[in-house]
């Protein structure tokens, strides 16, 4: 299948070692919250697939005509023996990914490539701090749920309101969630950075993970560095960019240098 980036799935598979193509069929869809829809897929290519918490699938979401756009969605849960995979997708309104996720009906088929993503849980950290918005909740929650008992996790989470707060589904670690309710449009406020400025950080050697809107990720990371967290101990990734569609390969385009 050829996307608007002109890159065949087979070329991507050659370029990205360890990933495979999966043909997904939607078997269940339900709203987790008013703005997040959980899509459950099955598909033969999921047999035996292994992924670490936080990895994602690059889905070829249908667009007009024969083309598609690749959009990346975190693997919220993978059951390779069923086989089934859950993706939790923000229904933010604009864009081929959000439109597809809102409308997809049981039986719909879509091609995906994965698992993708290099950010995983840091070994040896005595605490783990997660920062992000609704788009980051699947990564943050699956990473927290993968932490062993005895590990300490703190998450600072920006969502639209109380009805967008989700529940962890089976964590074993010692975890505290701090929910922040935005008062402006997604991607526009400074809630995450403001919270980080006053956040009590645990003692010991921690690791931070920051995902979400491009500028908010940069601001949160800068805030953590200002608080004395070593940049080496911060993994960060922009998932989307305010007012700008993600590129055809699924990542937000970088701003031009000033």
Ligand X SMILES: Cc1cc2nc3c(=O)[nH]c(=O)nc-3n(C[C@H](O)[C@H](O)[C@H](O)COP(=O)(O)OP(=O)(O)OC[C@H]3O[C@@H](n4cnc5c(N)ncnc54)[C@H](O)[C@@H]3O)c2cc1C
List of residues contacting ligand X (CB under 6 A): 56, 71-74, 88-90, 92, 94-98, 117, 135, 138, 186-187, 237, 239-246, 250-251
Select 15 or 203, whichever has its Cβ closest to ligand X: 15
Question: Three-class SS string for 158-215?
Answer: EECCHHHCCCCCCCCCEEEEEEEECCCCCCCCCHHHHHHHHCCCCCCCEEEEEEEEHH
Select 127 or 144, whichever has its Cβ closest to ligand X: 144
From the number of C-beta atoms within 10 Å of its C-beta (0-12, 13-18, 19+), residue 203 rates as: exposed
State both tokens at 144.
């927290």
Select 60 or 147, whichever has its Cβ closest to ligand X: 60
In the complex, what is the shortest distance from the CB of residue 35 to ligand X, in angstroms, rounded to a whole number? 8
Taking CB atoms, the residue at the shortest distance from ligand X is 95
In the complex, what is the shortest distance from the CB of residue 152 to ligand X, in angstroms, rounded to a whole number? 24
Region of 109 please: left (phi>0), alpha (psi -120 to 50) or beta. Answer: beta
Select 79 or 242, whichever has its Cβ closest to ligand X: 242
In the complex, what is the shortest distance from the CB of residue 236 to ligand X, in angstroms, rounded to a whole number? 11
Select 85 or 196, whichever has its Cβ closest to ligand X: 85
In the complex, what is the shortest distance from the CB of residue 69 to ligand X, in angstroms, rounded to a whole number? 6
Sheet of 20-33, strand order: 68-74, 56-62, 109-116, 20-33, 36-42, 84-90, 77-79
In the complex, what is the shortest distance from the CB of residue 38 to ligand X, in angstroms, rounded to a whole number? 10
């Amino acid at each position: 299948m050829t996307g608007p980036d002109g890159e065949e799935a087979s070329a991507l598979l050659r370029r990205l070692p360890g990933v495979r193509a999966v043909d997904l069929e939607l078997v269940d869809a339900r709203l987790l919250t008013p703005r997040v829809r959980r899509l459950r897929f099955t598909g033969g290519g999921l047999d035996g697939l292994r992924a670490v918490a936080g990895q994602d699938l690059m889905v070829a979401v249908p667009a007009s005509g024969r083309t598609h756009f690749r959009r990346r969605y975190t693997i919220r849960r993978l059951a390779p023996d069923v086989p089934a995979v859950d993706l939790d997708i923000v229904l933010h309104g604009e864009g081929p990914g959000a439109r597809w996720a809102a409308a997809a009906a049981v039986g719909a088929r879509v091609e995906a490539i994965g698992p993708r993503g290099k950010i995983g849980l840091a070994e040896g950290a005595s605490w783990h701090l997660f920062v992000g918005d609704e788009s980051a909740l699947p990564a943050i929650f699956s990473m927290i749920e993968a932490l062993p008992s005895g590990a300490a996790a703190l998450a600072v989470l920006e969502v639209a309101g109380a009805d967008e707060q989700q529940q962890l589904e089976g964590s074993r670690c010692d975890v505290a969630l701090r929910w922040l309710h935005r008062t402006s449009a997604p991607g526009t406020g400074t809630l995450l950075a403001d919270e980080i400025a006053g956040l009590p950080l645990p003692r010991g050697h921690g690791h931070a993970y920051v995902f979400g809107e491009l500028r908010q990720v940069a601001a949160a990371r800068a805030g953590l560095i200002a608080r004395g967290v070593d940049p080496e101990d911060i993994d960060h990734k922009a998932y989307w960019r305010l007012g700008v569609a993600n590129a055809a390969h699924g990542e937000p385009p970088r701003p031009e240098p000033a």
